[in-house]
């Protein structure tokens, strides 16, 4: 992955630095080795393996389980070779092994490739080999193993963070590309299809008869198409939804939807409930005012709340009519509208009278919704 590439390079740099340190220690103490020639051979093998893994891990395809297993095996071999080179009494007293800190490179790559658990496993394997090498539990074996576990845990955690960041960045890039493509299509549709549909609607209404019906259908399709290309959900990946997207679907020649230019982002479940309550209010307009009635939907976002108003030009509601409907078991307003908004911590206001139309205001508070 792109974001992990610097971490793999950092492991290579660490190995080179650890190799330099091991070389300095060998130059200082090789005269006390039982087999100096073998010590230099092990050091040469470490140099060669550092170069090989540096090249291999530079390519993401080379970071596979086979190479990681080989990396750990070579590290163990270099570590265990210390028992043939370094005097036993020096090892027992906590003296340095041949590779010293170089063995941590295998732990780091295991953690980087497989996470904290894989890094911990590699650290325990190397710690067990170090314990076998020294023959007893000493401060050197305990401290070394603990440091390896810490290194593996930290690198594994960082690896997971980079994986998550890579995934989020990829989604953001895909969303940006999709948004740009949608905007391009929307411009084309607006300049061609929508204008033709609007023309058909206008000419059909002027001609009357069957042409008027065609104009009405063209107007409905224009409204639906305009809502599809006009608003898109940019927050769905995070479990949130732009309320404009849900309410825009109700737009038609007889339903005008006015919304802010900026997204009205709510948790998906909350947005769905608000849209459902608004849909019920619009259904009531058709049911009680007739299919020819007009309705207007207004969406307002305030610092502490979102308000959706649904107003119609129908005959209005007679005093006491809502109470009578609830008492007789018709719960469209009481449950589908008021109940939904009340469960969200909001409030519903219904105003209007005979001959004045009806306005239903849904107000949902923002605090606590995120």
Least confident of 86-100, 122-136, 176-190, 284-298: 176-190
Q: Say if residue 145's pLDDT is above 90.
A: no
Question: What confidence tens digit (pLDDT) does each residue in 345-357 have?
Answer: 999 888 877 777 8
Per the CB < 8 A criterion, the answer to whether 340 and 359 are in contact is: no
107 Cβ contact partners less than 8 Å away, ≥ 6 residues apart = 119, 122, 123, 126, 148, 151, 152, 155
pLDDT of residue 190: 61
Structure tokens at 79: 């570590």
Instruction: Band the pLDDT of 335: cuts 50, 70, 90.
Output: low
Instruction: Band the pLDDT of 329: cuts 50, 70, 90.
Output: very low
Percent of the chain exceeding pLDDT 90 equals: 20
Taking the C-alpha atoms of residue 22 and residue 50, their distance in angstroms, rounded to an integer, is 13
- Average predicted confidence (pLDDT) for the chain: 82
Per the CB < 8 A criterion, the answer to whether 9 and 2 are in contact is: no
Taking the C-alpha atoms of residue 114 and residue 87, their distance in angstroms, rounded to an integer, is 36
Its pTM surpasses 0.75: no
Least confident of 155-159, 235-239, 340-344: 235-239
Q: Say if residue 222's pLDDT is above 60.
A: yes
Question: What confidence tens digit (pLDDT) does each residue in 169-194 have?
Answer: 888 788 778 777 767 776 666 667 76
Greater model confidence, 147 or 184: 147
Taking the C-alpha atoms of residue 114 and residue 65, their distance in angstroms, rounded to an integer, is 9
pLDDT of residue 331: 45
pLDDT of residue 52: 92
Question: What confidence tens digit (pLDDT) does each residue in 259-291 have?
Answer: 887 888 888 889 889 998 998 888 888 887 877
Instruction: Band the pLDDT of 71: cuts 50, 70, 90.
Output: very high
DSSP class per residue in 32-82: G-S-HHHHHHHHHHHHHHHHHHHHHHHSGGG-SHHHHHHHHHHHHHHHHTH
What mean pLDDT comes out for the span 223-235? 59
Least confident of 59-63, 124-128, 318-322: 318-322
pLDDT of residue 42: 92
DSSP class per residue in 121-164: HHHHHHHHHHHHHHSS--HHHHHHHHHHHHHHHHHHHHHHHHHH
Percent of the chain exceeding pLDDT 70 equals: 86
Question: What confidence tens digit (pLDDT) does each residue in 297-328 have?
Answer: 999 988 889 999 999 888 877 665 655 655 55
Q: Which of 122-126, 159-163, 213-217 has the highest mean pLDDT?
A: 122-126
| 3-state class (DSSP) for residue 340 | helix
pLDDT of residue 41: 93
Instruction: Band the pLDDT of 224: cuts 50, 70, 90.
Output: low
Least confident of 27-41, 272-286, 329-343: 329-343
Taking the C-alpha atoms of residue 236 and residue 246, their distance in angstroms, rounded to an integer, is 12
Greater model confidence, 3 or 306: 306
């Amino acid at each position: 992955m792109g974001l992990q590439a610097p971490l793999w390079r950092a492991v290579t740099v660490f190995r080179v630095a650890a190799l330099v340190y091991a070389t300095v220690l060998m130059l200082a103490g090789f005269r006390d080795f039982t087999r100096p020639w073998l010590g230099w051979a092990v050091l040469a093998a470490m140099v060669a393996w550092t170069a090989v893994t540096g090249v291999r891990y530079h390519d993401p395809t080379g970071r596979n389980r086979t190479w990681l297993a080989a990396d750990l095996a070579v590290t163990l071999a270099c570590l265990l070779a210390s028992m043939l080179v370094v005097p036993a009494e020096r090892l027992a007293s906590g003296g340095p092994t041949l590779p010293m800190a170089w063995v941590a490179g295998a732990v780091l790559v295991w953690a980087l490739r497989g996470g904290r658990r894989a890094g911990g496993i590699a650290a325990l394997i190397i710690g067990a080999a170090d314990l076998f090498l020294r023959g007893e539990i000493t401060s050197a074996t305990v401290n070394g193993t603990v440091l390896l576990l810490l290194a593996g845990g930290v690198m594994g955690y960082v690896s997971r963070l980079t994986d998550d960041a890579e995934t989020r960045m990829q989604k953001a890039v895909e969303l940006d590309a999709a948004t740009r493509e949608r905007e391009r299509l929307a411009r084309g549709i607006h300049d061609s299809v929508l204008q033709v549909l609007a023309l058909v609607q206008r000419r059909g209404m002027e001609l009357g008869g069957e042409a008027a019906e065609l104009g009405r259908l063209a107007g409905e399709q224009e409204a639906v198409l305009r809502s599809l290309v006009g608003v898109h959900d940019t927050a769905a990946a995070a479990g949130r939804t732009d309320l404009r997207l849900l309410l825009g679907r109700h737009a038609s020649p007889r339903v005008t939807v006015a919304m802010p230019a900026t997204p009205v982002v709510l948790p998906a479940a909350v947005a769905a409930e608000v849209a459902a309550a608004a849909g019920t209010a619009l259904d009531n307009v058709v049911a009680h005012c007739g299919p020819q009635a007009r309705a207007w939907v207004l969406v307002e976002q305030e610092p502490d709340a979102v308000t959706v108003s649904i107003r119609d030009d129908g005959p209005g509601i007679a005093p006491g009519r809502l109470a009578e409907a609830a008492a007789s078991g018709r719960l469209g307003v009481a449950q589908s509208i008021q109940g939904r908004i009340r469960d969200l911590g909001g409030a519903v206001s219904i105003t209007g009278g005979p001959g004045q139309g009806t306005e239903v205001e849904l107000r949902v508070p923002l605090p606590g919704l995120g």
